[in-house]
Structure 1
Amino acid sequence: MYNILSLLTGLVIAIMVALNGRLTLQYGNFTAAIIIHVVGVVFAFLLCKAAKKRISRKKGQPLWLYLGGAIGVLTTVFNNFAYGKISLTSIVALGLFGQTIASLLIDCLGLFGMKKHPFRKSSIPGLVFSFAGILVMLNDPMDAALYALLLSICSGITVVLSRTVNARLSGYIGELQSSFMNHAVGLPIAVAITVVFERNHPPFIANTFSPNPWIYLGGILGVSTVLLSNITVPRVPAFRLTLLTFVGQVFTGIAIDMFTKSGFTEATFKGGVLVAVGIAFNLIYEQILRSKLLKQIKGKS
């Protein structure tokens, strides 16, 4: 069930990225980030009220648990600065590399209070296929805009950090409330960054509203993504969650590109297939090991 939810998270992210991309074309990178957070805050607040969930901070909570939203804004900033300096396919590939490294560290070391998942032989195929997929998608030379390459890796790391911190917070205040706090904390930071980097651009009110209201729904899907992550992060090893989410995102993105006739890169498709093959091998192998273990237990009883 949780593996399916992990794939679903990737699907939602892909749709969210498409909507946010259209919003960015209308308002610009950072102003769009503000709109996304405003919509997310309002939607999450309404969900909490509808579900009669109280939004409050419990005593004894570490303050760092509320940094998930701030870390999430960094992901947007890193991607925005890398965009245009290297290809989008390379940004995706290096982001996956950053997510893979961060996920393995969290699994092996039990960082942020997460359950330890020691690296096992069954994870090797997934890791090998993951790196193979990254190499296939990485179509820029390594000396091309080195800072953009590093920022893309950092964006992947911050994705994992943000979802992990949000999930830890949800254990204290609830899954819906954690999603609200993620956007509430991120909003003022997004505003501050916009003031710094777009101070010479026309203010938000100077932009006309889009006749396509659906482009404003990215914040709602952002809340849904955080909510799904709050459910899956404590229950699925970080490495597997990263790969499942990536596969869901890549193939949904390809489907969207085909539907909108935007086209997609062959490298992204091949990379996604390689990662999917690695995950399938891992899941099948782990199922075989579980079946053998159950037979051994039944044989002894």
Structure 2
Amino acid sequence: MLDRLGLTHMERFFMLSLLIGLVVGFGLPVQTAINSRLRQVVGSPLRSSMISFTVGTAFLIAVLLATLQGLLIPVATFSQQPWWIWLGGILGVVYLTGNIILFPRLGAAQTVIMPVVGQLIMSMLIDNFGWFGSPQHALTWIRVAGGIVVLVGVFLVVFTTSARNGLQKTRSSFLLPWQLAGIATGMMSAAQAAINGHLGVVLHSAVKAAFVSFFVGTVALILIVAIAERGIHIRSAFSKNNPWWIWLGGVIGSLFVLGNAYLVPEIGTGLTVVILLFGMISGGLLIDSRGWLGAQRVSVTPMQLIGVLALICGVVLIKLF
């Protein structure tokens, strides 16, 4: 189809990368909505996260075997590398489980946007101090300005009241703790990305790094669920009355990781973040406005759309300058 448009090879490649980024970014709020529905089925956010991580791990094992990369980790990695390179999976558990808990309280759009704020705050700190083996980038005034623009965008998207939405001040104030929790989970997500990026360099494979992260998260969740909930009780998930798509959350999460692994080396981290952010926020607003996948239907206002544009502009200033 791209060939018919008369585009050059580089232009076709960029358009393909753009399409992949938008689809992968759109998938994140879809994953959150699916896992929230799975939570209703199994009766626990921890069980839902455990199933999602297990499915994601199985999918990544299939990818590694199909690409002949193998599953083994060099023994020297355990003794020669810092202890924190294994924490990506734990942080991923907190981020995924947090999103499942936040989704029914904040809606799809806010469950995407509030963590984005946390991701930007933590990513700026990581860049400024060079944490987790990341390249150090000084915090410039342009990037600070970008952060302010992002906060303005968040205010417009999240806190704008509308007669059509029927939001009340009492409800908004009640949501504040959950919104702050969303920011905190976003900060952990950014730390996870930096840790997995370093692990990918160490293992010479972004896919293997993603597998290690998912595997650690799966083991941790199995232990947590077994202890906290006195056994693995997920029989209800296998009921024929459940929609088939409740099993897709882990696959979508894996594709999100793989999409990042593909795009970053090809088009750079900055442009990848911008494209993914646009897909994520667009997906969240669309799910809210249409009430898809069990989400509570909430109309989208013009001010929210302006806030989305402000968010994108702020991310461009932070990531590309």
Separation in 2, partners of 1:271, 1:205: 43
Whether contact under 8 Å (1:102, 1:160) holds in the other structure is yes
The TM-score normalised by the length of structure 2 is 0.73
Q: Which amino acid aligns with 1:203?
A: H
SS in 1 for 2:136: coil
Aligned to 1:298: none
CA pair 47-79 structure 1, distance change in 2 beyond 3 A: closer
The one of 205, 212, 221 aligned to 2:243: 212
Separation in 2, partners of 1:81, 1:254: 18
Separation in 1, partners of 2:21, 2:86: 23
The one of 240, 253, 266 aligned to 2:300: 266
SS in 2 for 1:266: coil
Whether contact under 8 Å (2:150, 2:313) holds in the other structure is no
Separation in 1, partners of 2:88, 2:72: 16
Write out per-residue CA displacement over residues 166-222 of structure 1, whole angstroms, 9 at most, x where no aligned residue: 12111122122112111111112222333455449x921244245532221111111
The one of 206, 221, 242 aligned to 1:190: 221
Separation in 1, partners of 2:134, 2:82: 15
Aligned to 2:38: 23
Whether contact under 8 Å (1:78, 1:154) holds in the other structure is no
Unaligned runs of 5+ in 1: 287-301
Separation in 1, partners of 2:273, 2:107: 22
CA pair 281-83 structure 1, distance change in 2 beyond 3 A: closer
Q: Which amino acid aligns with 1:127?
A: G
Aligned to 2:311: 275
Separation in 2, partners of 1:281, 1:148: 27
Select between 28-37 and 177-186 the one with higher mean Cα deviation. Answer: 28-37
The TM-score normalised by the length of structure 1 is 0.77
Write out per-residue CA displacement over residues 67-111 of structure 1, whole angstroms, 9 at most, x where no aligned residue: 211111011333455556666655544322211110111122222
SS in 2 for 1:186: helix
1:236 aligns with 2:269: yes
Shift of 1:32: 1.6
Write out per-residue CA displacement over residues 225-279 of structure 1, whole angstroms, 9 at most, x where no aligned residue: 1222334567415xx7555433210112333455666644436544323212445
Q: Which amino acid aligns with 2:59?
A: F
Select between 71-80 and 256-265 the one with higher mean Cα deviation. Answer: 256-265
Q: Share of identical aligned residues, percent?
A: 22
Separation in 1, partners of 2:213, 2:254: 9
1:73-92 → structure 2 map (5 Å cutoff): 73-82=93-102, 90-92=110-112
Aligned to 1:297: none
Write out per-residue CA displacement over residues 29-48 of structure 1, whole angstroms, 9 at most, x where no aligned residue: 22221111111111111111
SS in 2 for 1:45: helix
SS in 1 for 2:221: helix
Aligned length: 282
SS in 1 for 2:139: coil
Separation in 2, partners of 1:93, 1:40: 24
Q: Which amino acid aligns with 2:312?
A: A
Q: Which amino acid aligns with 2:248?
A: L
Separation in 2, partners of 1:66, 1:110: 18
Aligned to 1:54: 70
CA pair 39-77 structure 1, distance change in 2 beyond 3 A: closer
Aligned to 2:233: 203
Whether contact under 8 Å (2:46, 2:221) holds in the other structure is yes
SS in 1 for 2:69: coil
SS in 2 for 1:57: coil
Shift of 1:126: 3.2
CA pair 170-101 structure 1, distance change in 2 beyond 3 A: same
Aligned to 2:197: 167
Shift of 1:143: 5.6
Q: Which amino acid aligns with 1:164?
A: A
Shift of 1:53: 0.3
Q: Which amino acid aligns with 1:25?
A: Q
